[in-house]
Every structure is written in C-alpha cells, then in structure tokens.
Amino acid sequence: MMKRFGHTKAAVVLFRRSVPVGDRFVSKISGGRHTLVGIVVPTLILLHTGRQSGKHYETPLMYLPLGNSFVIAGSNWGRTDHPAWSANLLAHPDATVVAAGQRIAVRARLVTPEERQELWPRLVETWPAFTTYAARASDREIRVFILERAQR
C-alpha cells in the first residue's frame, strides 16, 4: 500500500520533509541499525560533504544492495532539479554510509549507461514510484550512483 501511495503528490508533500527527519532520528537512537521507512524499503544514511560549504550532511536514502555496494538514485521526489547530495557526491565522491548498524566508507560513482539499463528496473521494483518521479522530472535524467566500499 505504501509503495502505491508513493506515486501521489500527496505522498511527496507529506513525506519530503518529515521522512528524512524521522529516518535520521530512528537511525541515531538505534545505533544505525534501523530507519523509519526501513520496514518498507532498504534505507541508509549517506554522510557526505557539501561541494561549496564543506559542511557535513546526513541524508537518508532508499538503496538497492549490489553485492558489497549500494545503488542510490537522485530522484529528488520528482522535482525538476537534482538533489544537492548528488552534486556533493560528484564534487566529493568519498563518503560514508550508515546501514544495518555499520559505518562503511564508500566512494561514489555515476553508473555507466549499461549499468543504468540493468539497475533502473531493479530500483523501480524496489520503489515503484521512481517511474512517477522520472516522469515528473522529465527535463533531467535521474542520477544513479554506485557506492562502492572504499579501500581506505
């Protein structure tokens, strides 16, 4: 039911601001083991650096597990602009993921066109509203990243 509701504009208005706050809160109190929406879709907290400010940010994101890596999509709830976190990763690809109670150093990279062709249907299977978000954001291609475990 929640995955169907995710297609609606009401869901975007309701969740765009509240869900990230709830995800960060639940992640903090559970030691990174859980997020608010983790019962619906796999969710991680991305710790990244602002491309201009240099500040550190914590962004909850739905992810697709891919071996030891994580796949994330910059849907920005279907808005016409890319999410700030995606520009931050382009400028500063070294980041950290908090998932399943672990802090994992990662390096982000945009997927290749071939990888996108393979991964996009899997992302949509995990969160069907991505199709609606892509249609709403028709002037841009949603950025898809692979977060690979860093060799630090």
Q: Residues 25, 19: contact at Cβ < 8 Å?
A: no
Q: What is the mean pLDDT of the chain?
A: 86
Predicted pLDDT at 79:
87
Predicted pLDDT at 28:
77
| 2-149 CATH pick, 3.90.1010.10, 2.30.110.10, 3.30.70.260, 1.20.1730.10 | 2.30.110.10
The DSSP string of 29-97 is HTTTS--GGGGTS-EEEEEEE-TTT--EEEEEEE-EEETTEEEEEE-GGG-SS--HHHHHHHH--EEEE
Report whether pLDDT(15) > 70.
no
Domain layout of the chain by residue ranges: 2-149
pLDDT in tens, 19-29: 766 666 666 76
Name the band, by pLDDT with cuts 50, 70 and 90, for residue 100. confident
Report whether pLDDT(73) > 60.
yes
Name the band, by pLDDT with cuts 50, 70 and 90, for residue 31. confident
The stretch 7-13 carries a mean pLDDT of 58
Name the band, by pLDDT with cuts 50, 70 and 90, for residue 78. confident
CA dihedral 138, 1, 8, 42 (to 10 degrees): -50
